[in-house]
Amino acid sequence: MSLRRVVVTGLGALTPIGNSVAEYWDGLSRGVSGAAPIQRFDASKFKTRFACEVKGYNSEDHFERKEGRKLDLFSQFAVVAADQAVLDAGITDAIDHDRIGVIWGSGIGGLRTFQEECVAFAKGDGTPRFNPFFIPKMIADIASGHISMKYGFRGPNFVTVSACASSSNSIIDSFNYIRLGMADVMVTGGSEAAVTEAGIGGFNALKALSERNDSAETASRPFDKERDGFVLGEGAGALILEALEHAQARGAKIYAEIIGGGMSADAYHLTAPHPEGKGVILVMNNALRDAKITPEEVDYINVHGTSTPLGDIAEVKAIQHVFGEHAYNLNISSTKSMTGHLLGGAGAIEAIAAILAIQNGVIPPTINHTTDDPELDSRLNFTFNVAQKRDVNVALSNTFGFGGHNTSVLFRKFRD
């Protein structure tokens, strides 16, 4: 059976450094930090009092008030980003909607809704008074449901949940559905809106978050010796994947080709990566094998790079194992240094960053670096602090999740 080629024909982004793809890319290329003191709630009693929130977002700019009340913020973000991508790709009613699907990713889903409803019940007299939209606002799969209902897309429809790897899993699944002939077009990506009291408090309890409250904008510092944890982010990224022949038949613009996806498990620890990066080695090799390319063909890796003491080291060890001497020819960067960690939405916005690096011939930087970590090989090009021009033919995007879920996705400059 011959597999169909799959291309990217539309993008959408709602991020802490820009509420459109153009704004997002401008922020990435200029090295803008999205971290700032939390505005959504009073965080004064928390160990971490800052995050990478989406800025300038107003629900009523996108939804009627009654409609907006039925959607948790993570679903709102999903619909807004997907809408950008659908418009960008030029998806019209002329395309068979039975052959358009939606696979979305979210690691947590409606955390704000869950928190508010449970707190309201606990403060009451024990009488069960819950909002009738409590469950359909909270469940993670509802995001893909809302996207499909808005446009009448009747193809495959579900949500992937694999913690911080969720939206990369959604991209890989969408890629496979198209190349196997089960759909012609897929709306895919991911969203998260976990900047809540429960989100910050829960990750603080895990000792996962940076507590650099006196310098929030520099707190996310992947590969820096002084890194002390990740910065929580929020937002959404959306991609339109399409069978090549389908895209060409309708004259669609093509951003890049998706050529491979890898998945693996660490099978090691609840939250910590394998110290030698065994699962990460496997997932990158799986992606390369799926794409039928050699390590030497990769130019850029948008790494998971969360700014945690253990995670950054394990990923770098894995890169050096897989790429050998070619590792020194790679550009490596962590855009989480700018956006923070969008959890289930991370893979989507980072895939977009990789695609735009191919499109523009620019590697977005890893910002906030001041001190080299002696445990990391200083000969590697981490693209510290300033974007670098480079012709990028192949880019790899890594995302890993609590529970040991690993994903790698490969994109290539499109050539007919």
Tell me the catalytic residues.
Answer: 164
The SS3 of residue 96 is coil
Q: Are 15 and 340 within 8 A, CB to CB?
A: no
Q: Give buried/exposed letters for 382-415 (b at 16+ CB in 10 A, else e).
A: bbbeebbebebebbbbbbbbbbbbbbbbbbbbbe
DSSP letters for 164-212: BTHHHHHHHHHHHHHHTTS-SEEEEEEEE---SHHHHHHHHHTT-B---
Distance CA 400, CA 383 (A): 21
The SS3 of residue 256 is strand
Strand partners for 237: 13, 190
- Using left for φ > 0, alpha for ψ between -120 and 50, and beta otherwise, residue 332 falls in beta
Planar angle of CA 37, 301, 243, nearest 5 degrees:
105
Distance CA 190, CA 152 (A): 19
Chain-centroid distance, C-alpha 218: 20
Do the bridges between strand 394-401 and strand 300-302 make them parallel or antiparallel, or are there none, so unpaired? Answer: parallel
